[in-house]
Amino acid sequence: MKIIKDKVAKLSFVALLITMTAAMFYAPTASAHGEKSQAAFMRMRTIHWFDLNWSKEEVPVNDTMTISGKFLVFKGWPETVDKPEVSFLNIGIPGPVFIRAGSWIGGQLVPRSVSLELGEVYEFKVLLKARRPGDWHVHSMMNVQGGGPIIGPGKWTTITGSMGDFVNPVTTLTGQTIDLETYNLENTYFWHAVWFAVAFAWLLFWIKRPMFVPRHIAVSTGKASTLISAGDKKIGMVFAVGTMVIVAASMGTTNSKYPVTTPLQAGLLRGMKTYQMPEATVSVKIDDATYRVPGRAMQMTMTVTNNGDTSVRLGEFNTAGVRFLDPEVHEDETAYPDDLLAEEGLTVSDNSPLAPGETRTIEVTASDAAWEVYRLADLIYDPDSRFAGLLFFWDENGSRQLVTVDAPLIPSFI
């Protein structure tokens, strides 16, 4: 029995060593943000990102690029997620590979959290300055307090050059121009070195003499008072008084060197300017919706009524950042990420122009591997099995209308 136990132990140890060695040879970089793992209903029923544009695909260090577009704060926001009353426009990148040089919602700078209204559309822009070379997946992103990060579509962007060349000049209100990348670094090292030196001196004063065994014997035999001499107390006083003198003096010199300082700034920005989309003259009623698991396709039966004065056609269904297009109506010209674009993914049973005043019931199929790749099919396992998305209709003049849809989804396994 003992031999078997020893063998098992030995083999387990060898297996552990092999695993660790193998891990050293293959440790891939985690480049994405788990966007596919986020619950599908979170991505489909909270923030709908559209009209996104990444201004560049390759950026040299110190150069800038923008991500711009719009987002709709969905009216049918799920009950299980806190409302976006305190939100922060973020950017999904692996650490500070870019710096966020600016971010705006409705033209207002948003370095702080904002309050968003359900059902409203907002225009946004994020200005990024390239810092660290590499290929990075750059996402739009909205953090919602109580809801977590709601990550939008991402696109691969390449930063070229050397990080050593990166500079981040800032001019303060006292007129000094500094490089925020290295500012205050020497001062930080200096003061920490000073205090470490003082602490080591105090420790050295005590640990240079015999410590544990003889001192324990002395304490145990009632001779503890002999272990601290009058000289030790004087040295202790010097350290304590010296510490307070250094603290007071360094604070005084710092205040004279930096006479103007302000507290950290924090707060919530309310009343953000919304973006007014053209009034929709098309109304849509979802009669039923099913997701065919084997076919990776969502089928919707909808009744569409055109209340406008020009005919319209359905060109796009957008959900969770995945765009399903009918190429006969609309083609993408924005270099939208390939993996999120189903250029021929939208099939409509009758997509002839819907005349003014006409009502038609149509079968709409949105099919693409993206349902699986982006794990949107997992919606059928969500606690509230409803889907939502944006339908875009185009009229004869090329004008676009946005209509939101929100309905229960029935999975079909055959």
**How near is the Cβ of 142 to other proteins at its closest, in Å?**
9
For 12, phi then psi, to 5°, come to -60, -40
Report if residue 248 touches other proteins, rule: CB under 8 A.
yes
Q: Which is nearer to other proteins, 91 or 380 (CB)?
A: 91
Q: Which is nearer to other proteins, 173 or 414 (CB)?
A: 173
Report if residue 149 touches other proteins, rule: CB under 8 A.
yes
Q: What are the strands of the beta sheet with 400-408, ordered from one edge?
A: 341-342, 322-325, 312-319, 386-395, 400-408
Q: How many CB atoms neighbour CB 83 within 10 A?
A: 19
Q: Which is nearer to other proteins, 181 or 339 (CB)?
A: 181
**How near is the Cβ of 308 to other proteins at its closest, in Å?**
40
Q: Which segment (75-83, 255-263, 366-374, 378-386) binds other proteins by CB under 8 A?
A: 255-263
Report if residue 218 touches other proteins, rule: CB under 8 A.
yes
Q: Residue 236 corresponds to which tokens in the numbers above?
A: 């202790």
50-89: contacts with other proteins (CB under 8 A)? 86-88
Closest CA to 366 of 324, 335, 330: 324
Q: Which is nearer to other proteins, 247 or 410 (CB)?
A: 247
Tell me how far apart the alpha carbons of residues 299 and 311 are, in angstroms, rounded to a whole number.
24
Binding mask 85-124 for other proteins (x = CB under 8 A): -xxx-xxxxxxxxxxxxx------x-xxx-----------
Sign for the pseudo-dihedral over CA of 198, 200, 203, 209: negative
Q: How many CB atoms neighbour CB 299 within 10 A?
A: 19
From candidates 1, 5, 27, 210, binder to other proteins by CB under 8 A: 210
Report if residue 214 touches other proteins, rule: CB under 8 A.
yes
**How near is the Cβ of 374 to other proteins at its closest, in Å?**
19
Pairing of strands 148-160, 58-60: parallel
Report if residue 230 touches other proteins, rule: CB under 8 A.
no
From candidates 32, 118, 121, 246, binder to other proteins by CB under 8 A: 246
For 339, phi then psi, to 5°, come to -70, -15
From candidates 25, 26, 212, 413, binder to other proteins by CB under 8 A: 212
Report if residue 236 touches other proteins, rule: CB under 8 A.
yes
Report if residue 215 touches other proteins, rule: CB under 8 A.
yes
Sign for the pseudo-dihedral over CA of 175, 110, 402, 35: positive
Q: Residue 222 corresponds to which tokens in the numbers above?
A: 């009632």
Per the CB < 8 A criterion, the answer to whether 284 and 405 are in contact is yes
Report if residue 160 touches other proteins, rule: CB under 8 A.
no
The residue behind tokens 């922060």 is 88
185-204: contacts with other proteins (CB under 8 A)? 185, 187-188, 191-192, 195-196, 198-200, 202-203
Taking every pair of Cα atoms in the chain, the longest distance, rounded to a whole number of angstroms, is 104
Closest CA to 86 of 127, 42, 117: 117
Q: Residue 36 corresponds to which tokens in the numbers above?
A: 């596919």
Q: Which is nearer to other proteins, 241 or 410 (CB)?
A: 241
Q: Which is nearer to other proteins, 122 or 393 (CB)?
A: 122
Per the CB < 8 A criterion, the answer to whether 326 and 367 are in contact is no
**How near is the Cβ of 134 to other proteins at its closest, in Å?**
10
Binding-site residue total for other proteins (CB under 8 A)?
A: 93
From candidates 211, 335, 369, 410, binder to other proteins by CB under 8 A: 211
3-class state of residue 246 by DSSP: helix
Binding mask 9-38 for other proteins (x = CB under 8 A): ------------------------x-----
Q: Which segment (35-43, 71-79, 173-181, 355-363) binds other proteins by CB under 8 A?
A: 173-181
Report if residue 171 touches other proteins, rule: CB under 8 A.
yes
Q: Which is nearer to other proteins, 107 or 357 (CB)?
A: 107
DSSP string over 283-345: EEEEEEEEEETTTTEEEEEEEEEE-SSS-EEEEEEEETTEEEE-TTT----S---GGGEETT-
258-297: contacts with other proteins (CB under 8 A)? 258, 260-266, 268
